[in-house]
Amino acid sequence: KTFRPRKKFEPGTQRFELYKKAQASLKSGLDLKAVVQLPPGESINDWIAVHVVDFFNRINLIYGTMSEYCTERSCPIMSGGLKYEYRWQDDSKYKKPTKLSAPQYMCMLMDWIEMLINNEDIFPTRIGVPFPKQFQQVCTKILTRLFRVFVHVYIHHFDSIINMGAEAHVNTCYKHFYYFIREFSLIDHRELEPL
């Protein structure tokens, strides 16, 4: 229910080429700190857009693989341990921060991100169409909420990840995500405290 098909970049577009660059550098075994740096001459907004979509795909897949262990019963509150509780607010249906179970939160999150990245006014895909002024703010909010998925998975479901033999993949994805958000200061440092 929370798993979404991968979002793809159109072949022949600048974002497709940036995506290929990012994927090639990840597969080459390079230092992830270096991989996240903006390639010379590239637009920072394009680079961020490519990574936001890629992280959405990867984190959605991670959660999808272990979602059977994250149920209303096992996770009645979206949290990161006893100290951190995450409430949902989207300014449409949930105008105030609302306590949800982890599966509900994840479903709302993936729907919300999918709606944003498919919105041409926020994530334009046509050449020459500029990004909106608030683009990086929107990406910060998306990445902050995706980080919370890592928090929940690591604190509440890492044993399931280990049992599936997926810990190396999850750890590499987290490391790539972490270096990227730190490189561009995209998440408030306080949000990072749980991990």
Nearest partner of 44 among 192, 188, 180, judged by Cα:
180
Phi, psi of 60 (to 5 degrees): -60, -40
- Tokens (6 digits) for 14: 């600048």
189 is in an annotated binding site: no
What are the residues whose beta carbons fall under 8 Å from the beta carbon of 177, sequence distance 6 or more? 55, 59, 143, 146, 147, 150
Rounded Cα distance, 24 and 9, in Å: 15
139 is in an annotated binding site: no
Alpha-carbon distances of 124 from 68, 117, 127, 132, rounded to whole Å: 34, 9, 8, 9
Rounded Cα distance, 53 and 48, in Å: 9
Alpha-carbon distances of 18 from 36, 46, 111, rounded to whole Å: 12, 8, 25
173 is in an annotated binding site: no
194, 151 Cβ separation under 8 angstroms: yes
57, 93 Cβ separation under 8 angstroms: no
51 is in an annotated binding site: no
Nearest partner of 181 among 56, 14, 43, 52, judged by Cα:
52
- Residues placed in the known binding site for Zn(2+): 70, 75, 152, 157
- Residues placed in the known binding site: 70, 75, 152, 157
